[in-house]
Amino acid sequence: MQKEWDGNKVDIFLEDAVNEKYIRRRFNGAMQTLTDEQIAAFAQALGTVNELPISYATVIEEYRYTL
């Protein structure tokens, strides 16, 4: 089996303290090699246009396997 990169996604979780929950926003089409600095800069940019504070961000790496 051969492992092939299929795509990355970035999830940003916003903290809604009033309603005691987290709101997830997913951004598809992220680059294959993301650095921590790039993710932090992206989260900071989103924080400037959003009224809810950003709690954390995650990167989802997707792979497919072929024979």
Domain that holds residue 12: 2-66
What backbone phi and psi angles, to 5 degrees, belong to 52? -90, 145
pLDDT, tens digit, for every residue of 20-42? 999 999 999 999 989 999 999 99
Instruction: Say what the pLDDT of residue 60 is.
Output: 94
Neighbours of 12 (CB within 10 A): 20
* Residue 31 near residue 8, CB atoms below 8 Å: yes
Average pLDDT, the chain: 92
- Collapse the DSSP code of 25 into the 3-class scheme (helix H, G, I; strand E, B; otherwise coil) and give the result: strand
Instruction: Say what the pLDDT of residue 37 is.
Output: 94
**What is the total count of domains within the chain?**
1
Residue pointed to by tokens 């940019």:
45
